[in-house]
Amino acid sequence: MTHAYTPGLRIFERTKVASHRVLPLLGDVVVKKGDALKAEDIVAKTHLPGKVHAINAVNRLGIQPKDLREYMLKKEGDLVQKDEIIAETKPWVKMLKTVLLSPITGTIETISNVTGQVLLRESPRPIQVFAYIDGAVIEVTEKEGVVMETTATFIQGIFGVGGETVGELAIAVDKPGDILTAERIQPIHKDKIIVGGAFIQHDVIDKAKKVGVKGIIVGGFNDEDLRKLLGYDLGVAITGSEEIGITLIITEGFGQIHMAQRTFELLKSRSGAKTSMNGATQIRAGVVRPEIIIPYPGKASGEEMEKPVDRGMEVGDSVRVIRVPYFGRIGKIKALPFSPKTIETEATVRVLDVEFPDGSTATVPRTNVEMIET
């Protein structure tokens, strides 16, 4: 059978992680290859072009578009101050003079003798790109950005909201099946990234925000609470830019679902470490999953980040079922029957048999499992 590979979420205890830190427009890279940086350090900066304002100059001045240039006191590219006169009429009687003031401080972009419009552009706005992870610069692309590299624990979540944040990792529950309640969130969690178990509710996220928690990692939560958190129903799963005052990553899915034991244990083993996380998720072609990066201090080397395995599933591989009725259960592939089988819906599909740790088995469609890559 050809490649029916089912990629899973990636979880590594120790691996090399590279992060591309790129400016949205060309600018200046302020670090050099080999520099060891902290997450908070600036790596590149540039200026975003300012907003464009249009003034219908000919209407204001009562002239024809073709004559506009004659009345302009400034030309394209000139700097102007807010309320500075940029054009004026030249009547015989000075009292009848009409002037055109610049609504902004910026530059004259275009003067159109067809539309009679003058376009002005505000001054550029500075923006900076941070290192985001503690690590070293391994590559510099002139004017564009850098690639940061570190050796870290790397965990992908299934869905997240909120952008990049950095803080110390703290475990707020005892077991992966625990619910993260408001009582478990304490003032000591200020500026930290906290790990919950199976579930969190909206009011608890609110409490975390009040305490000053930077990020939350939890097994699952309800869509109803997502709506409350965002203030709207999330339609298209492109997240990361919302300003909600906190970053949230769920590792398993929607509903109350135990965080995978391995994920929980791994996070627990790194408790207290400086952690970078990003809730940005894009569920489109070229899926982007939220990430948790916990660098190891010093220049320890890790194994190369593995590429997804481009091979068919094999008997004995660990898989997680990702759809009801066995949603969230982890087991090992027991058999991969070649011929399609008819399932309860009466659809005839490729299936596999999976054996769960309690010895029970189930037949599930191949598309309803994900491989657990380690």
Binding site for another protein (CB under 8 A): 1-3, 5-6, 49, 51-54, 65, 109-110, 112, 114-117, 119, 121, 158-159, 222-224, 226, 232-237, 253-255, 281, 283-287, 307-308, 310, 322-325, 327, 343-347, 349, 364-365, 367-368, 370
Taking the C-alpha atoms of residue 313 and residue 321, their distance in angstroms, rounded to an integer, is: 14
Strand partners, 270: none
Q: 47 or 51: whose CB is closer to another protein?
A: 51
- Name, in order, each residue with C-beta under 8 angstroms of 242's C-beta and a sequence gap of 6 or more: 161, 162, 163, 230
Q: Token pair 């009679």 is at which residue?
A: 116
Q: 174 or 303: whose CB is closer to another protein?
A: 303
Q: 245 or 255: whose CB is closer to another protein?
A: 255
Min CB(357)–another protein separation in Å: 20
Q: 13 or 109: whose CB is closer to another protein?
A: 109
Within a 10 A sphere around the Cβ of 62, how many other Cβ atoms? 8
Q: Which two tokens stand for residue 189?
A: 């969690």
Min CB(51)–another protein separation in Å: 5
CA nearest neighbour of 326 among 354, 295, 298, 289: 354
Q: 79 or 230: whose CB is closer to another protein?
A: 230
Min CB(254)–another protein separation in Å: 4
Helices (H) and strands (E) counted in the chain, each on its own, are 5, 29
Q: 141 or 271: whose CB is closer to another protein?
A: 141
Q: Can you tell me whether residue 160 is helix, strand or coil?
A: strand
Strand partners, 348: 342
Taking the C-alpha atoms of residue 292 and residue 259, their distance in angstroms, rounded to an integer, is: 14
Say if residue 340 is preceded by a cis peptide, omega within 30 of 0.
no
Min CB(116)–another protein separation in Å: 8
Min CB(160)–another protein separation in Å: 10
Min CB(110)–another protein separation in Å: 6
- The answer to whether the CB of 244 falls within 8 A of the CB of 230 is yes
**Cα atoms found within 13 Å of the Cα of residue 14, Cβ hemisphere only:** 8
Q: 188 or 324: whose CB is closer to another protein?
A: 324
Min CB(100)–another protein separation in Å: 16
Within a 10 A sphere around the Cβ of 294, how many other Cβ atoms? 26
